Structure formats: structure tokens, C-alpha cells
């Protein structure tokens, strides 16, 4: 087995890859914009669809 | 760039985590990652999907847009207008999204869900790039979210499809019955289904039934004055200005929408406004769909005083913020509208508009049904 394949198959590699993936995806999903919290705090039945759409699409863009 | 910064932070945190907790139960943590990805994805897909199943995602084409030359729309607007003209296609896209979201909610069918999602949002990503949508990060993020679920079963899929070998499904799962999170899990699942399936589904259906739109102003327009009007007479400061391709100040035609928007086609080229944010605005005053990413016409929001028949126009485009009119409206006959008053600079203006009685193919088709329209060989 080549060295690269050995590293790829090792639990150590899987372990660090899993930790990085988990943290990265969770970090990307944490909304940090002020817009997110202002929408969340002003959620209303009348504008529910607009608010939910915005909340879903805010979480992936930053700054 | 932001994503790279977050990746750097994730790597640093992962190394720190590893130094504190060297041994991780891989199956369990991978399971947590898949749960997070599945539910986050399903929440986005159910909202986006229901907005398409009940076609609210893009509004009907406005009369002003129907009276705008094709080349004046920016690329992204072309895509939205195309979707608007083909609601059945929009409904199909919505069904795919909702079906994929439902598949994602169950561990055993989640892989089937991402098989739908990756090509679907891969295509959305390409459309975002091709039509200069500016939202390509959203589609990239959705594809990224689907990868933990996809990669988990990828080896088994390859074994089954490529090697054509007998393949057992993944058997590992968390024993929730022995977990202290058992009750939280049940409450969480029920809450998720109630909010994202029943509430969003019902709200979308209700908005569709009430013919609401999420993009145009909700304030009603003028009673009995809707559609395209030719400018028959245009008198500025007492001078009658004849139609001419070289006369910038003269109006060419006017469109009255069903809501409180009036658009005017003029000779001069329009500085197109870009939407400041990709978020959908709530209030009428912020709803910019009709006048952003499109040229050819100037869009005014109006207020009408029925007492003295005064029409007050304010330009919506930020590049023409000073453009305003205060006009008295009268109807010499049922086909004509006379506007008299002043513009923002104090110039007197008198404009006689005549109903163009324009028929729109989209509306004509609706009257007889799409199936009855077509060519016979």
C-alpha cells in the first residue's frame, strides 16, 4: 500500500478530518450578521415566509 | 475568503480539541455531523421548496416588465422572469426540493435525498454564475452541507454500482434509547416537523390562495386605471414637445400597475440600480424587485389623494431620488388620463395619456388554457 493510501486509511487521518469538517460546517452555519438577529427578534406571522427564507439564506454568507 | 478564514479557525480548533481529547469515537461524531447536516439542509430546502411548490418564489411578470425591451434586463432578472413565465417548472423544482428534504429527515433515506440535492444545487450554482446571481455561496454551502451524508455512503454506492457486488447498508446508528438525549430528540423532531413542514407549508399555501406576492408593493393602485398608456400630448413649461428620439425630457409611454407603481419610458438611458441586499425585503418601501436590475423605464411609487385627485410621484431608483412629480389627475374620457402639475424642479407639466389597450399573450393564454394554444402542422 502506498504511503498516501496508508495515511488516508489511518484512523488518525479520519479523526482529524472529521473534527475539521464538523467544526468548519458548524462555523459556516453560525450566523454572525446583525441582520440575522434582527430578523429573528422581529419574526412575525405576516412576514413569516420572507423571514424564514432570509434566515435560511443568511447563514452561509458573512461579513 | 471568509470560508478560508473559517477553515483556518476550524483547523486550529480541531488541533486544540485533539490535544485535549486524543481519542474520539469516530462513528458517533460522524453521526452527529450527519444529523446536523441533514436537518440544516432540510430546513433550508423545505422553506425554499414550499415557496416554489406554491409558486411564490418569483412573482408574476409585471406590466412594466412586459413593456420593457428584453435587452434592458440584467442576466439574473432574465432567469427570474423565465421562471415567472413558467410556473409549472417552478412547481416541479419545489417538489424536488420538498421530496429531497423529506428523504433527508430519515436516516435510511438521507442518501437518496442528497443524490437529488447535489446535482440540483450544482445546477443552481452554475446558474448563479452564468446569470451573475451573486448568491453562488448559498448553493455552494448547500452542496457542502450535503457532502457528509453523501461521502458516508459513497463507498457502498461504488461497490454496488461499479463493482456490482453484494452490498450491505450501513448498520451503525446511535442507540437513542440509552441516551440521555432521547426525550430532547423526540421533542426536537416534532418541533422541526411542525415548524418547517406544517407551518411553512400552510403559510405558503395560504399566501398562494390569497394571491399574495412577496415582491411587489401591497398597496392598491388606481381604480380603473391599469395598463399601458401612450403619451399623446406632452407640454413642458407651456411648450408642446413632439415625439422625437432626440428629446430626452419627453415621456414615451406610461404603465400603471395594479399596485401603487407607475413606470415611465423616456428617451434617456437609465442608470440601473442594483439591489443593496440579497435578502427579501418586508415593507413596501423596501421592495425593490420591480425597479432593480432593469433599465428602460423610470419607476415611481405614487400616493393618490381622492379628495383633490392629486397624484404624488416619487422615483424609487436611488440614482433619480430627486425625481418627483405632483400632478392633478383627471379623465377626459374612459380611455384617457390627463395629468397636470409640476415636477420636482418646479417646471409645469401637462400630459395627456391614451389607453394603448394592449393585449398580453400571457394573459390571453390564461383565458383559453395553455393546452388549447399551439401550432398545428
DSSP string, B174-227: --GGGSTTHHHHHHHHHHHIIIIIIIHHHHHHHHHHTT--SSS--SB--TT--E
Cβ atoms < 10 Å from Cβ of A33: 14
B18 touches chain A (CB under 8 A): yes
Are A9 and A20 part of one and the same domain?
Answer: yes
In three-state secondary structure terms, B345 is: coil
Structural domains of chain A, count:
2
A36 and A26 both lie in a single domain: no
- Chain segment B281-338, per-residue pLDDT in tens: 888 888 999 999 998 999 999 999 988 899 999 998 888 887 899 999 999 998 999 9
**Same domain as A25, residue A2:** yes
Shortest distance between the Cα of B87 and any Cα of chain A, in A, equals: 19
pLDDT higher at B118 or A60 = B118
B148 and A16 within 8 Å at the Cβ level: the answer is no
What lies within 8 Å, CB to CB, of B49 at 6+ separation is B94, B95, B96, B97, B98, B100, B101
Nearest to A49 among B14, B56, B142 (CB): B56
| Residues A26 and A37 reside in one and the same domain | no
Q: Which of B54-58, B130-134, B257-261 has the lowest mean pLDDT?
A: B130-134
CATH architecture of the domain covering B227-357: Beta Barrel (2.40)
Task: Give me the residue spans of the domains in chain B.
Answer: 2-209, 227-357
Domain containing A38 equals 32-63
Please tell me whether residues A26 and A52 are part of one structural domain. Answer: no
pLDDT tens figures, B268-278: 888 999 888 88
Within 8 A of A50 by CB-CB distance, chain B residues are 214, 280-282
* Chain segment B352-361, per-residue pLDDT in tens: 999 999 998 8
Question: Do B279 and A57 make contact, defined as CB atoms within 8 angstroms?
Answer: yes
Q: Distance, in angstroms, between A51 CA and closest chain B CA?
A: 8
| CB nearest to B7's CB, from A24, A29, A61 | A24
- Name the grid cell of B243: 415625439
Which chain B residues are closer than 8 Å to A14 by Cβ? 26
Which range of A54-58, B247-251, B352-356, B368-372 scores highest in mean pLDDT? It is B352-356
Amino acid at each position: 500500500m502506498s504511503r498516501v493510501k496508508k495515511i488516508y486509511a489511518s484512523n488518525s487521518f479520519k479523526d482529524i478530518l472529521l473534527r475539521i469538517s464538523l467544526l468548519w460546517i458548524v462555523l459556516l452555519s453560525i450566523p454572525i450578521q446583525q441582520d440575522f438577529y434582527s430578523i429573528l427578534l422581529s419574526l412575525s406571522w405576516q412576514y413569516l415566509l420572507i423571514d424564514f427564507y432570509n434566515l435560511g439564506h443568511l447563514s452561509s454568507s458573512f461579513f | 475568503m471568509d470560508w478560508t478564514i473559517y477553515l483556518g479557525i476550524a483547523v486550529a480548533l480541531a488541533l486544540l480539541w485533539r490535544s485535549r481529547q486524543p481519542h474520539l469515537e469516530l462513528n458517533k461524531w460522524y453521526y452527529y455531523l450527519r444529523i446536523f447536516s441533514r436537518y440544516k439542509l432540510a430546513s433550508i430546502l423545505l422553506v425554499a421548496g414550499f415557496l416554489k411548490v406554491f409558486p411564490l418564489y418569483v412573482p408574476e411578470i409585471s406590466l412594466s416588465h412586459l413593456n420593457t425591451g428584453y435587452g434592458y434586463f440584467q442576466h439574473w432578472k432574465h432567469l427570474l422572469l423565465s421562471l415567472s413565465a413558467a410556473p409549472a417548472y417552478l412547481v416541479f423544482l419545489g417538489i424536488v426540493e420538498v421530496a429531497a428534504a423529506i428523504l433527508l429527515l430519515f436516516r435510511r433515506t438521507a442518501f437518496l435525498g442528497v443524490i437529488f440535492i447535489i446535482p440540483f444545487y450544482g445546477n443552481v450554482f452554475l446558474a448563479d454564475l452564468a446569470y451573475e446571481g451573486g448568491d453562488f455561496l448559498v448553493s455552494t454551502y448547500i452542496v457542502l452541507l450535503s457532502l457528509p451524508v453523501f461521502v458516508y455512503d459513497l463507498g457502498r454506492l461504488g461497490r454496488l454500482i461499479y463493482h456490482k457486488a453484494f452490498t450491505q447498508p450501513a448498520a451503525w446508528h446511535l442507540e437513542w434509547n440509552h441516551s440521555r438525549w432521547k426525550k430532547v430528540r423526540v421533542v426536537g423532531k416534532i418541533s422541526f416537523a411542525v415548524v418547517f413542514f406544517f407551518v411553512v407549508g400552510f403559510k405558503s399555501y395560504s399566501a398562494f390562495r390569497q394571491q399574495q406576492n412577496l415582491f411587489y408593493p401591497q398597496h392598491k393602485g388606481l381604480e380603473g386605471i391599469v395598463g399601458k398608456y401612450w403619451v399623446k400630448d406632452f407640454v413642458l413649461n407651456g411648450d408642446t414637445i413632439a415625439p422625437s428620439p432626440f428629446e430626452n425630457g419627453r415621456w414615451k409611454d406610461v404603465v400603471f400597475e395594479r399596485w401603487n407603481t407607475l413606470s415611465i419610458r423616456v428617451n434617456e438611458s437609465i442608470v440601473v440600480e442594483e439591489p443593496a441586499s440579497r435578502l427579501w425585503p418586508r415593507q413596501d418601501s423596501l421592495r425593490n424587485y420591480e425597479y432593480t436590475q432593469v433599465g428602460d423605464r423610470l419607476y415611481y411609487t405614487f400616493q393618490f389623494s381622492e379628495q383633490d385627485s392629486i397624484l404624488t410621484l416619487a422615483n424609487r431608483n436611488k440614482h433619480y431620488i430627486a425625481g418627483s412629480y405632483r400632478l392633478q389627475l383627471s379623465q377626459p374620457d374612459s380611455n384617457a388620463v390627463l395629468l397636470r402639475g409640476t415636477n420636482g424642479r418646479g417646471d409645469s407639466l401637462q400630459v395627456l395619456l391614451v389607453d394603448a389597450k394592449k393585449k398580453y399573450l400571457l394573459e390571453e393564454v390564461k383565458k383559453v388554457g395553455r393546452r388549447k394554444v399551439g401550432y398545428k402542422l
